[in-house]
């Protein structure tokens, strides 16, 4: 008779439902901090022990860092009496009865190819490439008719969503899936969720906390293709214009965007010279040409830059970036794009930066807007600074732009 092993783990109601379900493929879709990793680690211990001796288990996560979390939680709960050998450098554990567990990162899909995996746990599956599942992990389960369970927060409508959808269909007997918001973890202080959610845009909140599968999330601006219309326009005497400028810092570009009061991008300039005299000249020229009121990213450069432009007769104000003011600026741009209040000519670098612009939740669980690693965001910021001035503009026909 098999010995009963006691694990010091008290699952909450949602975790218990997951543990008790006998489906071969289980998909837990939950908000951040719900207890996904803890539940997955405990399920791994349980399944490795009950599925028999001489078996192989895989614990997979998107990155090396994530597998470390799985590894840590596994050892937080695994009773010492079950463990035979630990090979830290290979992330390989052997439990008694020749039960082998490898902790693997999915950023190298080839390393996931295997045979005869009996127990598979994938944490944060939505962040793993589809091929890792279809070409490597799913076939590995075939020989031994292995079981798999997935824990994660959603990331749009990808393969993880499709797998989860199967689990919602009662006719798919082998699949079962759940959706739990962060708040259903009773061990989590509601104040912690509130603090986490405070700086989040609506969509991020729905994805990260409510665990909804949303389209287009991760990208901040929706409807970018719809805003591409018309061409650049010369100055017209009866019209008013606003301009946004993002100054080149270390290795990026200075970008200038001029909008008319209808929200059309009439002029766009982008150059990489860092020399301030050169930058100033170009800014002054464009502002003069359109008689535009200018809002400039003055973070780090301070008031002297505005003063100098002012002395050149440019109507200029500075916009200082903090996490909060950047959020306001970007969210205004996002709303205006979504409401189709802005149009731009075919400017590939602007269109691409808008499409790539995203948000991420930091390890300390704050929301940060920005371009992905290795990409620029200066065209987005310049457009956002121009659009910010339209936000406060009186309805068309009522005259001048209000000061902000
Ligand atoms: N059954 C449980 N018993 C005690 N604490 C729990 C339990 N389940 C979750 N928690 C607590 O909830 C918090 C989140 O747990 P865990 O790291 O497993 O969540 P997660 O959903 O994987 O989070 P993340 O989204 O950051 O990956 C931790 O503080 C953990 O201690
Ligand atoms: Mg986790």
Atom of ligand 1 lying closest to residue 34 CA: 21
255-282: pLDDT as tens digits: 999 999 999 999 999 998 778 888 899 9
**56-61 sheet: strands from edge to edge:** 83-87, 92-95, 99-105, 56-61, 117-123, 147-152, 25-30, 175-180
Spatial distance between the Cα atoms of 362 and 174, rounded to a whole number of angstroms: 36
67-109: pLDDT as tens digits: 999 999 999 999 999 999 999 999 999 999 999 999 999 887 7
DSSP string, 235-293: --TT--EEEEEE---SSS-EEEEEEETTSBEEEEEEE----HHHHHHHHHHHHHHHT-E
The residue nearest atom 4 of ligand 1, judged by CA position, is: 187
**Residue 37 CA to ligand 2 centre (angstroms):** 4
| 310 in any annotated domain | yes
Same domain membership, residue 74 and residue 198 = yes
Handedness of CA 85, 86, 92, 95 (dihedral sign): positive
Q: How many CB atoms lie within 10 A of CB 98?
A: 11
Both tokens of 23, joined, read 């489906």
Same domain membership, residue 72 and residue 32 = yes
The ligand 1 site (C-beta within 6 Å) comprises: 9-12, 15, 30, 32-38, 153, 185, 187-188
Residue 181 · residue 188 · CB < 8 Å: no
Question: Tell me, what CATH number does 248's domain have?
Answer: 3.30.420.240
- Confidence label for 63 from pLDDT (cuts 50, 70 and 90): confident
Same domain membership, residue 251 and residue 114 = no
Give, in order, the Cα–Cα distances in Å from 342 to each of 90, 293, 367, 376.
53, 18, 25, 21
Q: How many CB atoms lie within 10 A of CB 146?
A: 22
Classify 315 as helix, strand or coil: coil
Task: Say what percent of the chain tops pLDDT 70.
Answer: 90
Pocket test for ligand 1, best of 11, 18, 33, 126 (most atoms within 8 A of CB): 33
**Residue 206 CA to ligand 1 centre (angstroms):** 19
**Residue 33 CA to ligand 1 centre (angstroms):** 5
Among 135-139, 253-257, 374-378, 393-397, where is mean pLDDT lowest? 393-397
| 7 in any annotated domain | no
Output the pLDDT for position 379: 93
**Residue 334 CA to ligand 2 centre (angstroms):** 30
Same domain membership, residue 166 and residue 289 = no
| 230 in any annotated domain | yes
Same domain membership, residue 196 and residue 233 = no
391, burial (CB in 10 Å: exposed 0-12, middle 13-18, buried 19+)? middle
| Close Cβ partners of 47 (under 8 Å, ≥ 6 residues apart) | 57, 119, 147, 149
| 152 in any annotated domain | yes
For residue 153, give the ligand nearest its CA. 1
Same domain membership, residue 279 and residue 306 = yes
Same domain membership, residue 63 and residue 203 = yes
**How many domains, the chain?**
2
Question: Tell me, what CATH number does 91's domain have?
Answer: 3.40.50.300
169, burial (CB in 10 Å: exposed 0-12, middle 13-18, buried 19+)? exposed
- Confidence label for 395 from pLDDT (cuts 50, 70 and 90): very low
| Close Cβ partners of 381 (under 8 Å, ≥ 6 residues apart) | 244, 246, 255, 297, 329
| 273 in any annotated domain | yes
Output the pLDDT for position 192: 84
Same domain membership, residue 269 and residue 200 = no
333-353: pLDDT as tens digits: 988 988 889 999 998 889 878
- Domain extent, residue 261, equals 225-391
Spatial distance between the Cα atoms of 279 and 253, rounded to a whole number of angstroms: 10
| 321 in any annotated domain | yes
For strands 175-180 and 147-152, give the pairing.
unpaired
Spatial distance between the Cα atoms of 48 and 384, rounded to a whole number of angstroms: 53
Same domain membership, residue 229 and residue 203 = no
How many residues appear in the chain?
A: 404
Q: How many CB atoms lie within 10 A of CB 18?
A: 26
Same domain membership, residue 172 and residue 95 = yes
Output the pLDDT for position 393: 46
Same domain membership, residue 179 and residue 246 = no
Same domain membership, residue 236 and residue 199 = no
| 403 in any annotated domain | no
Q: By C-alpha distance, which of 138, 131, 152 is closest to 61? A: 152
| 401 in any annotated domain | no
């Amino acid at each position: 008779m098999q010995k009963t092993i006691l694990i010091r783990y008290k699952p909450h109601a949602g975790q218990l439902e997951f543990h008790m379900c006998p489906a071969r493929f289980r998909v837990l879709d939950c908000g951040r901090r719900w207890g996904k990793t803890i539940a997955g680690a405990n399920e791994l211990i349980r399944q490795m022990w009950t599925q028999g001796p001489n078996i192989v288990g895989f614990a997979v996560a998107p990155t090396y860092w994530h597998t470390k979390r799985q590894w840590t939680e596994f050892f937080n709960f695994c009773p010492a009496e079950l463990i035979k050998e630990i090979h830290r450098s290979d992330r390989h554990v052997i439990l008694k009865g020749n039960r082998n567990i490898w902790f693997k990162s999915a950023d190298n899909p080839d390393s996931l190819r295997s045979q005869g995996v009996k127990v598979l746990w994938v944490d944060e599956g939505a962040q793993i490439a589809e091929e890792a599942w279809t070409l490597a992990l799913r076939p590995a389960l075939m020989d031994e008719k292995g079981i798999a369970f997935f824990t994660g927060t959603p990331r749009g409508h990808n393969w993880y969503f499709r797998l989860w959808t199967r689990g919602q269909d009662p006719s798919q007997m082998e699949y079962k899936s759940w959706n739990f918001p962060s708040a259903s973890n009773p061990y989590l202080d509601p104040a912690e969720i509130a603090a986490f959610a405070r700086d989040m845009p609506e969509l991020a909140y729905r994805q990260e906390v409510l665990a909804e599968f949303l389209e287009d999330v991760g990208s901040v601006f929706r409807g970018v293709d719809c805003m591409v219309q018309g061409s650049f326009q010369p100055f017209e005497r009866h019209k008013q214009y606003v301009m946004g400028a993002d100054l080149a810092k270390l290795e990026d570009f200075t970008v200038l965007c001029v909008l008319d009061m209808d929200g059309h991008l009439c002029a766009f300039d982008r150059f990489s010279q860092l020399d301030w005299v050169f930058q100033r000249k170009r800014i002054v020229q464009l502002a003069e040409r359109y008689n535009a009121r200018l809002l400039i990213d003055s973070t780090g450069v301070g008031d002297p830059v505005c003063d100098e432009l002012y002395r050149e007769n440019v109507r200029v104000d500075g916009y200082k970036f903090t996490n909060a003011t950047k959020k306001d600026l970007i969210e205004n741009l996002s709303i205006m794009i979504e409401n189709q209040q802005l149009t731009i000519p075919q400017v590939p670098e602007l269109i691409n930066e808008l499409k790539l612009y995203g948000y991420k939740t930091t390890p300390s669980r704050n929301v940060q807007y920005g371009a992905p690693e290795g990409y620029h965001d200066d065209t987005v910021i310049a457009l956002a600074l121009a659009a910010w001035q339209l936000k406060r503009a009186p309805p068309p026909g009522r005259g001048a732009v209000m000061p902000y």
